[in-house]
Chain A
Amino acid sequence: MEDRMKDRIEQLVDYIMKHCLWQFHSRTWDREKQNEGILTKTMQILCEEPVEKETPADRCYWVDAICLADAFKARYSWLTTLDKAELKLLMQGLKDRMDYLTITGSLNEELNDSKY
């Protein structure tokens, strides 16, 4: 069960890394905001929950989240077999993995440049 979850998270990570740019903003604080904003909204879209998109910042996150959710649904048919609780668990696992790969585990020393 755990292995299957890990494998599914890696499939989603692979898609994001090869097709998206939002996860690679150039500072730690920016990447934290991006991962949180876009992946939370993607989870809400997949779970058919309401999504905030009134401010320009929220609208940017929402736009990327819409594209990501559509791509996930088109590529990974197993997503439709998951209920809301499983989807939330999956997306939290994805967020943790993305935070590790792009922030805490990244070797990019420019992420913590003092000039922003």
Chain B
Amino acid sequence: MVQRHPFDFRKCFESLNNVLLELKVRYGTPRLDIDGFGFEALSSSLRKVGLFFGIEDRAQAIIDEETARWKPELDWYKERLKGKKVCLWPGGSKLWHWAHAIHAEMGVEVVSVYTKFGHQGDMEKGIARCEEGALAIDDPNELESIEAMEMLKPDIIFTGKRPGEVAKKLRVPYLNAHAYHNGPYKGYEGWVRFARDIYNGIYSPIHQLSFVDISKDEIPTETQFLTQKMISDVSLNEEVTSSKALREYTGKYDSISPLRSKTYPDFPAQKKLSVV
């Protein structure tokens, strides 16, 4: 059946990479790389699919609508995440999916990338997408990652649950880069949800309390409870904090279920594809 498909989407990367090679060698099926993480990557991917099928105008309409809907919310978080140091320590593919996109679109600095089970190609691509000076570690152990955290002093880490719990012991918050905290992170809305999770992780008032050692530190009793915004906005200028153009995430807790009842326009085929 596969040789009958004129165009085939593959979501996962490394496990299906070999399938794509097989398709190309055995059936001559070409491959078009697309990427759903980040506004620019997603817009470019939609445009590419539109161009391939000769329906670029439809793709552009979606890009314009979604960007207008979600970009002001992404930029609200970008203003508050600028310059924050991130260790990007996921599995394999998110190394390169995210390294440049979070820097360019959320303003964070990726100070380190690592992967425990990524392929050589994942390291190659991840390093290519970092800025100069980022520390790349291949298959690190816990002592190496602890040393890296002590040296780099990241504001947050994107990693798995197990190394994430190690990070928390060093008072470094983490986001689950495998299952995601409040995903999905793909898509325009998803990318804003990712930015919101980073913001909530870095500026969590509860996390601030972890810096106080109740066994020896004096606990201030006159300090009032701070909200995330009170912590994040203290160093921002008024132009940003009072901006009417920017806003926090306005999506719902569940962004998936409404998609199941969404109705889509019907576009009858213009012509029968010759290979089907």
Give A contacts to B, CB under 8 Å.
17-22, 24-27, 30, 56-57, 59-60, 62-64, 66-67, 106-110, 115-116
Contact = CB atoms under 8 A, between A and B. Distances in A.
A57 B30 CA distance: 5
Contacts of B220: none
Contact of A18 (B22, B47, B100, B121): B100
Question: Is chain B's binding surface mostly helix, strand, loop or mixed?
Answer: helix
Contact of A24 (B32, B51, B124): B124
B30 A60 contact: yes
A30 B32 contact: no
Interface of B: 6-7, 17-18, 21-22, 24-25, 28-33, 35, 40-41, 44, 47-48, 51-52, 96, 100, 104, 119-121, 124-125, 128-129
Most B CB contacts (10 A, CB to CB) among A18, A22, A64 go to A18
A57 B22 CA distance: 15
B193 to A, nearest CB: 23
A26 B51 contact: no
Given A67-B44, A108-B120, A18 B128 contact: yes
Contacts of A106: 124
23 contacts: A17-B129, A18-B104, A19-B40, A19-B100, A21-B96, A21-B125, A22-B33, A24-B128, A25-B31, A26-B21, A30-B24, A56-B6, A56-B7, A60-B30, A60-B32, A63-B51, A63-B52, A67-B44, A108-B124, A110-B120, A110-B121, A115-B18, A116-B22
Most A CB contacts (10 A, CB to CB) among B22, B29, B124 go to B124
B36 to A, nearest CB: 12
